[in-house]
Chains A and B, each alone.
Chain A
């Protein structure tokens, strides 16, 4: 589904990504682990088209994304849940979800109803302004809003940042459930070990703008071994 080769990018003249290679297959859940400042968000922002790539290529479904705007990439089926959630704060929760439905193949109402079935916590908040929600609720809303559009491939940028643990658990459950049901393809960047190991089938380690290694699958599934592994890196 996604094939990234020697991707380079950065802010102005400051290079951040120094040649990323990675691929994500249909239906796969890939996690990228990295500390702050290693280029996690930069990678996703480049994949979404907010930052221009300065080298290499991104192929999505076999087509190069070079020069395409975020709008065009969204219309090709790439969903994006940004760091900091980026809820439309003066729009109500329901209106935020309606915005998510712009690319939905079905009508608005049934789409939102079916998504809300997976996010029961949002149901009673529908009329609230998005800005009045707690961080965790906003994160659930950002995820739900993204799912409304029925994307083929989802980019998740540090969904656990600043979120209370109970909602983190809820997000893991929700993502596991809808991942199974809908066969979603997801690329997650995180530094929360618990979250990334609970969900990812493969884990890559990002350091200083490079994917330095892939965590072996038997390690990636095991929290304790994972901690040991990351400690060595």
Chain B
């Protein structure tokens, strides 16, 4: 019984982790159709922002929940202005540009901080499920993932900015005729996606450690989940991370983490074969 409790908890954390690493990528890919290959490096920057802020005596919660997303959001803003805005509508070119950006960021961070992994302390302890101890930090990840998705959903569906974003992504020319400046909306959306990546990096830093190449560990899962989720960012990300997080964690528990990731990939391949447009390409089409 205790074991089931532990597995259940781990599955929840696995789902939360995937949702968290995916939402920022989902915003940028889903809304702007830009494949941001520097997504993992945006997370890495969030992790370093958390690490640096923390070593300068700033409260760890503030460092990961506020400083990391704001810092990476600003980086995203600069990247959009200097790089991405020249490449809208040119998918292959944006892939190449963001891939180059990711290599550049890895190199930059390596020359500043060196190759050795840094640690960020885990701010909460553990609790017990029967005989087993589980980290309370798992709850933090799940809660942050839920808040990020719910917050993004609320922004899209309830605010005027959300309405403008949805309209602009659907038909930028018509939105312009109604007084919207699409370049400003693109800029804000890209920065928002980057900020969410920074948040993910900051929150996962205590678990994954902080190093220049940490992004590589996340990027594949994040892409698979975005594609599996389909067009509706919030619903798609939630459902796909639910599915893939469950498979990954459950199979890892039954065998090894490597087999778990293989199972995740196989599930993704099968799913994309059956639902080429992702889950929300067929079901719940009108959702956000």
Contact = CB atoms under 8 A, between A and B. Distances in A.
Contacts of A103: 178-179
Contacts of B176: 69-71, 74
Interface in A68-97: 69-71, 74-75, 79-80, 82, 86, 88-91, 95
A149 interface: yes
Contacts of A71: 176, 179-182
Given A75-B179, A82-B174, A90 B163 contact: no
Interface in B167-186: 167, 170-171, 173-182
Nearest to B166: A91
A116 to B, nearest CB: 17
- Dominant secondary structure of chain B at its interface with chain A: helix
Given A98-B163, A99-B163, A129-B286, A88 B179 contact: no
A117 B167 CA distance: 25
Given A91-B166, A99-B164, A145 B178 contact: yes
A90 B179 CA distance: 20
B174 A102 contact: no
A100 B164 CA distance: 10
Contacts of B171: 86, 88
A20 to B, nearest CB: 20
A33 interface: no
A48 interface: yes
Given A95-B163, A102-B164, A129-B286, A80 B177 contact: yes
A50 interface: yes
Interface residues on A, range: 20 to 34
B286 A88 contact: no
Contact of B174 (A75, A86, A98, A149): A86
Contact of A89 (B170, B173, B182): B170
Given A91-B163, A95-B163, A86 B178 contact: no
B138 to A, nearest CB: 36
Contact of B170 (A50, A79, A80, A88): A88
Given A71-B182, A129-B286, A88 B167 contact: yes
Contacts of A129: 286
Interface in B143-193: 160, 163-164, 166-167, 170-171, 173-182
Nearest to A108: B160
A172 B180 CA distance: 29
B179 A91 contact: no
A79 B179 CA distance: 9
Contacts of A95: 163, 166-167
A70 B177 contact: yes
B44 to A, nearest CB: 35
B153 to A, nearest CB: 15
A90 to B, nearest CB: 6
Interface string B242-254: 0000000000000
Contacts of A82: 174, 177
Nearest to A70: B176
B180 A102 contact: yes
Of residues A50, A74, A149, which shows the largest number of chain B Cβ atoms within 10 Å of its Cβ? A74
Contacts of B174: 82, 86, 88
Contacts of B167: 88, 91, 95, 99
Given A88-B170, A90-B286, A91-B166, A48 B177 contact: yes
Contacts of B170: 88-91
A187 to B, nearest CB: 14
Given A88-B170, A90-B286, A91-B170, A74 B163 contact: no
B33 to A, nearest CB: 15
Q: Which 10 A-B pairs have the closest CB atoms?
A: A103-B179, A70-B176, A80-B177, A86-B174, A102-B179, A71-B181, A74-B179, A71-B176, A88-B167, A99-B167
9 contacts: A70-B176, A86-B174, A88-B166, A88-B174, A90-B166, A91-B166, A99-B167, A99-B178, A145-B178
Interface of B: 160, 163-164, 166-167, 170-171, 173-182, 286
Given A71-B181, A99-B180, 13 more contacts: A69-B181, A71-B176, A71-B182, A74-B177, A80-B177, A89-B170, A90-B286, A95-B166, A98-B160, A99-B163, A99-B175, A100-B178, A129-B286
